[in-house]
Amino acid sequence: MSMQNQVPSADPAARSHRKKRTIGQIIFFFMPVIILLAGVGGFVALGLKSPKAEKEDNTIKAVAVLVASPSAEQVNLRVLTQGEVKARTEIDVVPQVGGKIDYISRSFLEGGIFKKGEVLIRIESADYDLRVVQAAATVAQAQQGLLREEAEAQIAAHDWDELGEGEASALTLRVPQLAQAKASLAAANASLADAKLQLGRTYIRAPFAGRVRTKGADVGQYVTPGARLGRIFSTDVVDVRLPLTDAELAKLDLPLAFVEDENNRGPEVRLSAVVAGKPRVWNGRITRTDSAIDSSTRVLFAFVEVIEPYGKGSDNGMPLVVGLFVQADVQGRSLPNALVIPRQALRGNDKVYLADEEELHIITVQVASSDRHNAIITGGLSVNDKIITSPVRGATEGMKIETVSRSAAANPQSTGE
């Protein structure tokens, strides 16, 4: 056999290696396609096995609600507020003359009670007594001088009538001298009156019945005119300053510039406070309002007057003391044809839900007043309307509703607003 006809036999190991490499390249190339097809097939299989969704029920269910009718009543509006008791008259005790204090009343102590005209402080009066004596002596001298001048004037007039000729001059008849004597007497009398006045001012008397807030002087102390010796206030009348908003002024029908007179009486006010663990009550009346609206709080203050808070105006002997913080119940205007509804029937500030032919309707009403229990309506609502009193979630105009009795609504379907 020749060399040209011989075919070399391939190495088995090399052929096996080339075959494995070719298969690996094929697998590497088609692997992403295989994974993608497997995922799609699994998703389709799961979709075929999952249960079919139930058909959605689009039927609108009616909401069960409780309804009630408004009650027509005559309502007297009230305003509840609070304030502090303040003395209407409170002054500093100051002397008008200087000197050493030689007497202080036993009433002139912190918390002391005094009567009108009572001597609270006395300044040593010896110097002022002497001035009165000196002024009295000057008056006596002036009176003597006037008598002498009157006599001299009479003599001059008589002499001129007997000896003189023509018309006498005023100086001849001593008219200027007589006028000077009269002026000197008037000045002396004025000095005496002033000396007596200064003497009287050594007694510092109470200008009113009241109490002592502070004391700043004692016996032996030298004081000058105008020095502050203490502070006192009157117990004849006290005021309670009450803040009122614009809405509260409307309830009271109180103008901004109100001052009580015989033809225009202010609202009655019931003041109350707990004193020594017991509830106490005092009666007063609004007599005026402040001159301007408070710039920081935007309210108008009204003043309640209580007469004789330590006497007839006290509550069984309990005075309405200055500085006490009290609650005030002010009587407002009367509404003869108001409608009263439960407070929960008022939605927001001025909305009410009505039930009409199994539908909910939202209306706007005029609210005169409201508290925790009731709302007073003066417009926008009729006594025959059916108002919804139960909570309604997501209320809309025309919502389907179903009115139920109070017993059937023990477990309502809806929840609060």
Q: What is the pLDDT of residue 102?
A: 95
Distance CA(392)–CA(411), nearest Å, equals 13
What is the structure's pLDDT at 412?
40
d(CA 251, CA 215): 44
Give the pLDDT of residue 296: 92
Q: What span, in angstroms and rounded, lies between the C-alpha atoms of 282 and 304?
A: 11
Long-range pairs for 308-314 at CB < 8 Å and ≥24 separation? 308/235, 308/236, 308/237, 309/85, 309/235, 309/237, 309/238, 309/282, 310/235, 311/235, 313/282, 313/283, 313/284, 314/282
Give the C-alpha separation, 171 to 157, whole Å.
Answer: 11
The number of beta carbons lying within 10 Å of the beta carbon of residue 215 is 19
Regions of the chain short of the pLDDT cut 50: 1-10, 52-53, 406-417
Residue with tokens 């119940």: 329
Residue 88, token pair as written in the block: 């209407």
| Tokens 């509703």 -> residue | 401
β-pairing, 90-93 vs 63-65, is: unpaired
CB proximity list for 254: less than 8 A, separation 6 or greater: 244, 266, 267, 286, 289, 302
Burial class of 210 by CB neighbour count within 10 A (0 to 12, 13 to 18, 19+): buried
> What is residue 127's DSSP assignment?
H
pLDDT tens digits for range 315-331? 778 899 999 999 999 99
Contact predicate 409/88, CB 8 Å = no
Predicted pLDDT at 156: 76
Rounded to whole angstroms, the Cα distance separating 303 from 84 reads: 10
Q: How many Å apart are CA 76 and CA 331, to the nearest integer?
A: 7
Which pLDDT score is estimated for 417?
39
Per-residue model confidence (pLDDT) at position 22: 62
Determine the pLDDT at residue 285.
95
| Helices 126-163 and 175-200, axial angle in degrees (round to 10) | 170
- At residue 9, the pLDDT reads 47
> Is the separation of the CB atoms in 347 and 394 below 8 Å?
no
What's the token pair of residue 239?
């005021």
pLDDT at 305: 96
